[in-house]
Amino acid sequence: MVGLLLILTLVFSPLIILFSPLIITLILTVIKSRRRRKHAVGFFHPYTNDGGGGERVLWCAVKGIQELSPDLDCVVYTGDHDASPESLKARAIDRFGVELRKWIEDTTYPRFTMIGQSLGSIYLSWEALCKLVPVYYFDTSGYAFTYPVARVFGCKVICYTHYPTISLDMLSRVNARTSMYNNDQLVAKSVLLSHVKVIYYTIFSWLYGIVGSFAHLVMVNSSWTRAHIVKLWGNPDRIYRVYPPCDTSGLQVLPLKRPATPPIFISVSQFRPEKAHSLQLEAFALVIMNLDSALPTPKLQFVGSCRNEADEMRLHKLKDQAIELKVDGHVEFHKNVTYRNLVELLGAATAGLHAMTDEHFGISVVEYMAAGAIPIAHNSAGPKMDIVLTEDGKKVGFLAQDVEEYKDAMLQVIMMSESERLEMAEAARLRASNFSEQRFYQDYKAVVQQILCHSKKE
């Protein structure tokens, strides 16, 4: 035993000597930064221009803090180099209708790629916190591996988790060798690669559970997300379901009565692979093929934002697919529209399409319902468990899982009488009121107040 300790000492002593200056530097950096801690909330949100539901949560979370504790400054750690306090405020009101009542600081750091995001986020959070250390570190993008870093800097860690980075569903799909956007076809076809990926996922889920335990307060956006986070992170008493803010107030004033010809199907989402735009397009093409000649020809509108070149390429391929399916004359594409234009499009829509498997929540589905558009959503996760449920015993929309089911649901909408459509649209709008911004602020403030009051007592 003594001999083994001697060997280990001889082996690792050079490494300890080699890395001692680095370790000392890191420790001194943390001590120096903690002494300069600012009375602020630091929001870690790399993509402040993604245009999705996550960005709305960011700005509503900022506004909620400003209303709850006006003495706290709000700092946004962003990877957008052209971001400024003025541009961020303008974007919040223009794209989401959220008016921020005081100034926002922005701390910019380099953007990182999707490869190694979890590990890359550790370095980036370190870099961000070296520039400015807030009292509260608030992650609104799901980078759980940054929580231990924030704790080292002495921050109280709060997070709003839209979905777990890894879930038991992902593990089961790899085990079943099911090909999806997050399980490459090459891996799905290979027994060996599938086993390797299962091992990788198992190790990652264990690490994810450890870093998640560093959060003082956790908010999640749906019943599905909470169930998975509780299994992975444990300690359910600190995990609260707070439905995300959906702009139902501005949409619920739209008239339910609208022109029935042509029937308009709208699909609102970022142009990402998991949103399954191609499936929607295929289903729409089948609708055109199976449509009775006496019925009006519908129109399909894709509305969304592109985060990067990959999204742009995906949008281009979608346009090519519309041409191949010979429905391009009935399909429109609206990219990076303003909030005002989005409201106009929703106000004219007959129904709204959603096709993402295991969508953690599904803000677009709620927006359809609030606007008076009948939802046709994927039969899983958020839409299935929280949103497309009955309201006062009345049906509020449709759930579908494959091309045929989407086609059938769309044909049912087209064949509805005006009175049937209005009855379902009214029930859907009533259901949507459960997910309003007002409800978000009410639940969000009640949860966040706990940690703010606790910190003041300390």
Annotate 84-123 with three-state secondary structure.
CHHHHHHHHHHHHCCCCCCCEEEEECCCCCCCCHHHHHHH
**Per-residue pLDDT, 419:** 95
**Per-residue pLDDT, 5:** 45
354 in Cβ contact with 375 (< 8 Å): yes
Task: Please compute the mean of the pLDDT values over residues 172-176 and round it to a whole number.
Answer: 57
Cα dihedral 162, 345, 369, 301 sign: negative
Tell me which H or E stretch contains 231: helix 223-233
Pairwise CA distance, residues 4 & 214, whole Å: 35
- Write down the mean pLDDT value for the chain: 82
215 in Cβ contact with 26 (< 8 Å): no
* Least reliable range by pLDDT among 33-37, 182-186, 253-257, 272-276: 182-186
Pairwise CA distance, residues 405 & 61, whole Å: 37
**Per-residue pLDDT, 110:** 44
Task: Please compute the mean of the pLDDT values over residues 163-191 and round it to a whole number.
Answer: 60
**Per-residue pLDDT, 195:** 74
Pairwise CA distance, residues 194 & 203, whole Å: 14
448 or 54, higher pLDDT: 448
**Per-residue pLDDT, 73:** 87
Pairwise CA distance, residues 299 & 415, whole Å: 15
For residue 416, is pLDDT > 90? yes
Q: State how far the alpha carbon of 136 is from the alpha carbons of 41, 75, 118, 133, in Å.
A: 5, 10, 21, 9
Task: Please compute the mean of the pLDDT values over residues 301-306 and round it to a whole number.
Answer: 93
For residue 428, is pLDDT > 60? yes
Q: What is the pLDDT of residues 29-49, one digit of tens each?
A: 666 666 666 888 999 987 655
The band of 20, judged by pLDDT with boundaries at 50, 70 and 90, is low
36 or 137, higher pLDDT: 137
222 or 175, higher pLDDT: 222
**Per-residue pLDDT, 408:** 97
Tell me which H or E stretch contains 398: strand 398-400
Neighbours of 87 (CB within 10 A): 14
**Per-residue pLDDT, 245:** 87
Percent of the chain, pLDDT > 90?
A: 50
Task: Please compute the mean of the pLDDT values over residues 104-133 and round it to a whole number.
Answer: 65
**Per-residue pLDDT, 163:** 85
**Per-residue pLDDT, 318:** 96
Give pairs for 236-242: CB < 8 Å, separation 24+.
240/443, 240/447, 242/160, 242/440, 242/443, 242/444, 242/447
256 in Cβ contact with 342 (< 8 Å): no
For residue 100, is pLDDT > 50? no
Most confident option among 1-5, 9-13, 44-48, 251-255: 251-255
Neighbours of 434 (CB within 10 A): 16
For residue 377, is pLDDT > 60? yes
The band of 25, judged by pLDDT with boundaries at 50, 70 and 90, is low
**Per-residue pLDDT, 242:** 96
Q: Has this prediction a pTM greater than 0.85?
A: no
Task: Please compute the mean of the pLDDT values over residues 416-432 and round it to a whole number.
Answer: 96
SS3 sequence, 233-245? HCCHHHEEECCCC
Q: State how far the alpha carbon of 117 is from the alpha carbons of 143, 262, 348, 385, in Å.
A: 8, 44, 39, 29
Pairwise CA distance, residues 235 & 231, whole Å: 9
Most confident option among 55-69, 117-131, 270-284: 270-284
Task: Please compute the mean of the pLDDT values over residues 363-370 and round it to a whole number.
Answer: 93
**Per-residue pLDDT, 182:** 47
